[in-house]
Amino acid sequence: MRFLTTVLLAVAAASTVGAALAQEPGEKIEFFRPTAPGAESKVKPVGETTVGMRVYLTELVIPGSAVQAKPVADPGRADALVRIQHEYTHGSGFRYDIEVTPFIEGTLDLRDYLERKDGTSLEDAPELPLTVDAMLEPDVLTPGDPEVQPPGQVGGYKKLMIGAGIAWFVGLLLLIFAFRRKAEPLVEGAGKHTLTLADRLRPLVEEARRSEISNERRAELERLLLAHWRRRRGLEDLPAAKAVTQLRHDDEAGPLFRQLEEWLHRPRGSADSAVDVSALLAPYENVAAEAPAAGGASRP
């Protein structure tokens, strides 16, 4: 059996050499023909969204060592914001749940916004294309004209004044009866602690430090900080993104803004115990807290 195999291999080798000798001078024998570039199949997008709309991509497998989101120096100028929410072991690589908020139209390769934790290259990883569409038509830079609403009903002033007079009279009677009660006066608010801005920020900052803050709580945290420092620094007319950029370099506001940016880009569930939260909240200890806004606030 071994002899027969040797004979067959010798015949095959002789055929190959004979074919090579039969070629014209200058011709090249191609034993391995490369695949044409156009024959490669197009990579299927990992997801689709529109400009400015956050999208959640789950179960994305990336071979090799673990990856993380690249740091963003200026979120107001970034093409997209990427955040890794969960990370799971998957064979020789890892599986990720990723949150992406794109700000430009086109196809984004998420590899451009990720990096390996050990510093090695990500070029060997498969493409991660994300399709981003625009809601506005091309060359549309201004919103359309608002619809003209018909005017409301004219009149009713007399009825309004009568109703206001009745309400005033009823309120006066209630005040008279209240003062006539022979009850001991109560000092309202005695012994109560005045709620400060630091008290409202502390639970939100602690959740951000542990990377456990929800989108609603994150929006409330951003609203409280922006509202406070816009008033303190006279930035009410400045857009939110530019205000954040300026406050990041502020001597008082900067430490908390920069620390929050670092925490919010860490993987969910990873706590940072080395930071003194009380020191970060020191500028807000003597500031009275505002009443909570109804319904929360969206990200500016």
Residue 91 tokens read as: 């064979």
Domain of 268, in residue numbers = 197-284
- Strands 129-133 and 47-50: what pairing? parallel
- Regarding whether 204 and 277 lie in a shared domain, the answer is yes
Average pLDDT, the chain: 78
Structure confidence at residue 244 (pLDDT): 84
Whether 277 is covered by a domain: the verdict is: yes
Residue 184 lies in a domain: no
| Residue 296 banded pLDDT, cuts 50, 70, 90 | very low
Summarised one tens digit per residue, pLDDT across range 133-192 is 988 776 666 666 777 777 766 667 888 899 999 999 999 989 888 887 755 554 454 456
Give the pLDDT score at 144. 66
- Mean pLDDT value across residues 237-249: 85
Q: Residue 82 is part of a domain; what is its CATH number?
A: 2.60.40
Q: What is the pLDDT of residue 258?
A: 85
Is 204 in the same domain as 129? no
Mean pLDDT in residue range 215-225: 87
Question: What is the rounded CA–CA span in Å between residue 199 and residue 201?
Answer: 6
The answer to whether residues 201 and 129 belong to one domain is: no
Tally of domains within the chain: 2
- Band (pLDDT 50/70/90 cuts) for residue 75 is confident
- Percent of the chain, pLDDT > 70? 72
The 10s digit of each residue's pLDDT in 26-36 is 444 443 333 33
pLDDT at 272 over 70: no
Radius of gyration of the CA atoms of the chain, in A: 33
Segment 94-148, tens digit of pLDDT: 999 999 999 999 999 999 999 999 999 998 999 999 999 988 776 666 666 777 7
| Residue at token pair 């945290």 | 221
Q: Give the pLDDT score at 294.
A: 40
Range scoring the smallest mean pLDDT among 116-120, 272-276, 290-294? 290-294
Asked whether residue 270 is assigned to any structural domain, the reply reads: yes
What pLDDT does 157 receive? 80
Predicted local distance difference test score (pLDDT) of residue 214: 87
Residue 276 lies in a domain: yes
Instruction: Tell me if 233 is assigned to some domain.
Output: yes
Whether 42 maps to a domain, the answer reads no
Tokens (6 digits) for 24: 């014209």
pLDDT in tens, 5-28: 554 555 555 555 455 444 444 444
Is residue 22 included in any domain, yes or no? no
Residue 96 lies in a domain: yes
The CA-atom distances, in angstroms, between 64 and each of 33, 58, 61, 133, 267 are: 30, 18, 10, 31, 18
